[in-house]
Amino acid sequence: MQTTVIPGRTVLCKRKPATSTFYQEVVKGLSAPQKYLDSKYFYDAEGDRLFQQIMQCEEYYLTGCEMEILTSRSAEIAAALAQHASTFDVVELGAGDATKSIHLLRQLLSNGTDFTYFPIDISANVIGQLEQQLPVTLPNLRMKGLNGEYFDMLQQANTYSHKKKVVLFMGANIGNFNSTAAHDFCVELSDYLLPGDLLLTGFDLKKNPQVILRAYNDNAGITRAFNFNLLTRINLELGANFDIKKFEHYPTYDPGTGACKSYLISLEKQQVQIDDVCINFEADEPLYMEISQKYSLEETDQLALATGFQPVARFFDNKKWFVDTLWKRV
Ligand SMILES: C[S@@+](CC[C@H](N)C(=O)[O-])C[C@H]1O[C@@H](n2cnc3c(N)ncnc32)[C@H](O)[C@@H]1O
């Protein structure tokens, strides 16, 4: 295994072998007729740090809206959970730094609810941080962090506990799937759950297109850096030679479909080498990085009903820009 060192990065990264899933998925995406990268790979330690900065950006209203819901309505959310289940475990998909869900966890603890918290995240870095910090912030919390893909880890959580499940999927993570993938994801999720299990999902709602577009194009350029960081990660971990100066960040929002998409545009005809694979970019060719799908309330209900869930409650921020929906597995 080789070691790649990039000046300015504090971590020495071991190069992943060409057989790694990361390598295979990156090469598959870059070899497709319309080049893409999977946004789940944004989150190495630097990606986690940049995402936490995005959440502090004035333009990125999503965090403030959902934080308002969790800080002001956790008692109501906990009461709604208690109506459907007296004892359960809380599994959070893509927990990140859990800065919002912590308010619900605190409320459940103060209600005396008997539960274990299973945060799941593909980033080993954030799971490590949660395991260090949460027991300090919430000393009575029983928790077990699970580092890996959503469903692999959900399966593991099922082996640790057979209690009823309350699944949290916050922060508009579901928006990182296009409509078809979100449908397929919810169908698969419902297969891992039992009738009566609950799902609390954050949806960013359709609103003024300028407000949405600004959230993915902040003035300080942090979202731009977050996108470029994936190219740097590929350089570090897969030994590629992306020159980020030869790409520009291009966010778009289509108010007709609710799809907010980020691209990196190749500024010139160029070749990028990844291990022994050579990728050709044309001038102006787009590399699709991420979708952040926006929903109407009707679309959230339709998604629930089409995938084995019954909508049971909605929790909004004051502006009604964001909703956390509570669904019950039928
Ligand atoms: C947009 S951030 C949101 C974090 C958190 N839910 C919040 O609201 O602040 C997405 C998180 O999901 C994780 N993630 C993305 N794809 C994943 C996957 N396929 N399996 C597990 N975790 C994933 C990322 O590592 C990241 O921490």
CA distance 321 to 161: 35
Tell me, in angstroms, the distance from the centre of ligand 1 to residue 285's CA. 28
**Which protein residues touch ligand 1 with a CB less than 6 Å away?**
40, 43, 51, 94-96, 100, 120-123, 126, 149-150, 170-171, 173
DSSP codes of every residue in 83-101: HH-SS-EEEEET-TT-TTH
Nearest protein Cα to ligand 1, atom 1: 173
Q: How high is the pLDDT of residue 86?
A: 86
Question: What whole-number distance in Å separates Cα of residue 270 and Cα of residue 69?
Answer: 46
In the reported structure, the alpha carbon of residue 227 is separated from the centroid of ligand 1 by a whole-number distance in angstroms of: 15
* Nearest alpha carbon, ligand 1 atom 27: 96
Residue to mutate, 25, 57, 105, 121, ligand 1, most ligand atoms under 8 Å from C-beta? 121
How far is 308 from 213, CA to CA, in rounded Å?
A: 32
pLDDT at 228: 98
Q: What is the pLDDT of residue 16?
A: 67
Q: Pull the structure tokens for residue 128.
A: 């490590």
**Best residue for ligand 1 mutational test, from 122, 126, 230, 293 (most atoms within 8 Å of Cβ):** 122
Residue nearest to atom 8 of ligand 1 (CA): 171
pLDDT along the chain (330 residues), means of 10: 42 63 97 98 98 98 98 98 93 97 98 97 97 97 97 95 96 97 98 97 98 98 98 97 98 98 98 96 98 98 98 98 98
> Helices then strands (H, E): number in the chain?
10, 15
Give all domains of the chain, ordered by start, each with its CATH number.
13-42+211-293 (no CATH), 61-205+295-329 (3.40.50.150)
Helix (H) or strand (E) holding 53: helix 45-56
Instruction: Give the pLDDT of residue 12.
Output: 45
Q: What's residue 6's pLDDT? A: 42
Q: Is 308 left (phi over 0), alpha (psi -120 to 50) or beta?
A: left
Nearest CA to ligand 1 atom 2: 96
